Every structure is written in structure tokens, then in C-alpha cells.
Amino acid sequence: MPRDDEEPIIGGTDEPLDTEVHSPPTNRIFGSWLKRPRALILEPAVFLVFFGRFLTDAVYQNQILYQTCVTVMKYNATECEPFLGTDRASDEVKKIEGQVQEYASTITMISSMLESTVPAVVSLFLGPWSDKFGRRPILLSTFTGYFISAIILVVLTQITAAVNISPWWFLLSCVPSVFSGGTCALITILYCHVSDVATENKRAMRMVTMEAALGLGMLVGGVASGYIYAATGASTLFILVGSIISIALIYVYFFVPESLKSEDLQSGSRIREFFRLDLVKVLVRTCIRKRENYDRAIIWFVMMSLTLCVFSMEGESTVNYMFMRKQFDYTVQDYSVFNAARAVIQVVGSTIAMILLRRLLGLSTITMTLLAFACCVLESTVRATAVYGSEMYLALIVGMMRGVMSPMCKAILSHVTPSSELGKIFSLTTSLQSISPLGAAPLYTAVYQATVDFYPGIFNFISVGLYFLCYCMSAAVFGIQKSMGSNSVYQAIGS
């Protein structure tokens, strides 16, 4: 069945930008450059930010492991050197690794919780506020927070080059990104931006394009991290991260205009309006009010599926590096290659799925969602039972379609939700996703600490159960769509 959105991901055209209306005065010199499709203009900055974030992932955890070893456990520098991740652990180091990881995992757990709590609360105000005052201020805020966090990491690593410090000091790097909205704010605004600039029949493809930018940033960051760290050290790597994020910030400031029309923006005190509790009340009422047919049930099934997915991913990320060090003796470079392979496989899998399954075979949005969750169940099962490092790569292959999971779910939300309420729905969704590490990090950390000496990978079975629950909720949406197929909204989900 032909569809209107059968066009290349890059190269489609939406409404042209009115740079005189939407751009700040400083952008007018770039007016001709800005006359490009709005749906594509944000992707370079998104790529740079996630590239920078993934450069720091394993190196940040290694700094915490090393400082735990030398300052908390009181071992000498020679014994603790392998915890920097540049060399494989000796038999002597493996004997102390369990207790070092147990202490360090508590710090990474708290870091994850800090990066979730405040942004989750902020996100409740964020959607309604951005509907009134625009998306661009939130973009600038989150990018600035990431830049300051990188500067703090540079300062801390410079200090540790002269004197060892408590690993708890590294939590300071979370503060700027947390109070500027963090990933929660960024994801909310990215998908609001897509909804602003893309027509309804192109929205699913545009969301896949945004996911591709994220995935490519993760890919390049994952590949480069271990090699840059091995060649230069932690301090230089964090300086590079700060430089990359500063470029992204400059790009957004000069080249990303406001996606909302000027006549839709309101005047008034932006700071005072941000903290109005009635905005949260409006958001909650929008999300829980009774709707026609089964719209409310579909919205909540999809929102909870997205939340449980993030719960699983955040829980895994808290302990996954330490698990792979323990189980497969991975270095930072090994872990970087693994993360790069994950990103490549997901991008390739998503591309194949969208071209072969969706375009050529005509599978519906909800069917694609079911397949994605099935792949997640299989991937986590293989990870949970892995004995050899090669099996972790097998898990990536069987889970190659997981990259379409989030954009397909968000496409379903965009079809069921009126455009005037979409920002509020996305805001609550990302808020729920952001607070999920409050439960995920302690749960996965507790299970890992209890089983690290005899079955380090057992925490993956938690993910198996969660993804299966998401599959069941998507199956319920599929059943609703089939039973109410004559409704135009449900036809959109099933096409």
C-alpha cells in the first residue's frame, strides 16, 4: 500500500524557515544558510553532544574505580593502575576487584540518581513552558550544562594528576547538567522539535532520523573513546569533550532557529512562568483525562513501555562496564569497541527495518514496535546466559531492531495525541523515563553486588522480564488497533 512518507530520510522537504521571524538578530548574516529544511537542522548538534557524552562514559567510571582503590581501599598506585582501564587486570588485581567495584558501584548509582531526580521534576514544567516560550532556550540551557560538566571533569583530572582525591568528588560533574535539565530536557525538546517541523505523515521517519543522529554520535564516541584515552589520558580526553560540546553550543546559538512560529510564542517573565504549578496541573489533566475510544489506554501503554525500556537501559548502564570487566576482562578499549559495535548494529538494523520491513513489505507502526520489543527480549536473554565475550556480540545481532523501538512508540503517541497536547505528553513521558533510574540503579546495583562473585550477569534477567512486559502492552495496543480499525487514528497506527 503506497504511503506519503515514502521518501529518503535526508532530502525531504518541510515548510521553509522564515529566518526573519524565527531567528535571533545575530543569525541574520546566516540567513541564506538557514533556508533549509527545519527537520534536519538540529541533527549535527545532537550528534556532537552525544559523541562527547559517549567519549566520557567508561573513562569517567575508571577514574572513580582508581580513586576508590587508592584513597578508600588504601592500595598502592601500582596495584590500582589496572583500574584505569589501559591494561588488563592481573590475577592479584582480580582478587581485590570485587570489593573495589562494590564501593565504586554505589557512587555510580548515586550519580545516576542525581542525573534523574531534578531533571524529572524540571521536565514536568518543561513541556507546557516550551509550548508558550519556545524550544530554543531549553536547547541552549542543556548544552551549556553539558559544557560546564566537561570543564569540571577537566579540573578534577588535573587535580588527580598531582594528588589522589576521594572518588565522591566526581559527583560534582553531574551538578551543571542536572540543574540545566540534562538528558531528560534534551530528549523532550528534540521530539517536540520534530513534532513542530514535520508533517504528520512524515513524523515517524523524522523521529528515526533523530534517533540516527543519536546513534551515530554514540557510535563515533564509542569507537574513539578507548583509542583517545590510551593515546592521551583522561585529562586530554575531557578537554576534547568540552571542545566538542562548545562547538555544538555555538552551532545551536547561531544556526538553530526557534521551531515554533512567532505568533504562537507568548510574552512575559520566562522565569516566573516556569515555576507556575498550574502548568503541571494542566499537564496532569491532559494525560489522565478521558478520551474517545481507547486513546487514553494506548497513550499510557506506550508511555509505560518507553519508561520501562529506559528503566532497563539505565539499570544495565550502571553495572554493565563492571560486569564486562569482571566476566570478560574488558579494558576501556575493549568496552569502547563493544559500544561502537552496538551503535553500528543498531543503526544498520534500524535502517534495514525501515527500508525492508516498513517501506517494501509495508509493516505497520505497531507491528514494527512488536518486533523491536521481541528483539530486546532475545538480546537480554543472550546477555544473561553469556559465558564468552563473543556471545555479547551475538546478543547485539539478535537485538539489532531495538533502534526502531523508541521512534515507533513516539510515532504512535503523535498519532493518538492532538498536536496541541503533544508537548505535554512528551514532557510527562520523559519525566517518567528520567525518574526510572531512581529505582533501576539501586535494583540493578543490589543484584549485581549480591551475585558478582558467582553469577555477575544475572541482572540481565530483570531486563528480560521488563522487555517482555513491554511486548505484552504493545500487543494490547495491536489488539485495540485491529478491533477499532475503522477509526482514522487507529488506521494511522496500523499503516
SS3 per-residue string spanning 46-106: HHHHHHHHHHHHHHHHHHHHHHHHHHHCCCCHHHHHHHHCCCCCCHHHHHHHHHHHHHHHH
pTM of the model: 0.68
Q: Is the pLDDT of residue 487 over 70?
A: no
Give every CB contact of residue 394 below 8 A, 6+ residues apart in sequence: 382, 386
AA identity, residue 355 = I
Rounded Cα gap, residues 92 and 26, in angstroms? 60
**Position 271: which residue type?**
I
pLDDT in tens, 180-216: 877 777 877 887 777 777 766 666 677 777 877 877 8
- The reply to whether CATH 1.20.1250.20 applies to domain 31-264+271-493 is yes
Cα distances from 320 to residues 57, 217, 336, in angstroms, run 11, 20, 12
Pick from 339, 317, 302: nearest CA to 440: 317
Torsion 372-297-478-208 (CA) sign: negative
CB 299 within 8 A of CB 413: yes
Cell match 544498520: residue? 348
Residues in the chain: 495
Residue-level pLDDT at 374: 94
Give residue 234's Cα distance to chain centre.
23
Answer with the residue of higher pLDDT: 113 or 170: 170
Q: Which pLDDT value is given to residue 244? A: 94
Read off the pLDDT band of 95 (50, 70, 90).
confident
Residue 353 DSSP class: I
Question: How do residues 267-322 score in pLDDT, each as one tens digit?
Answer: 666 666 666 677 677 777 888 888 777 888 889 999 999 999 989 988 888 888 88
Q: Fill in the DSSP letter of residue 25.
A: G
Q: What is the mean pLDDT of the chain?
A: 79
What pLDDT, on the 0 to 100 scale, is given for residue 302? Answer: 92
Contact of 83 with 104, CB cutoff 8 Å: no
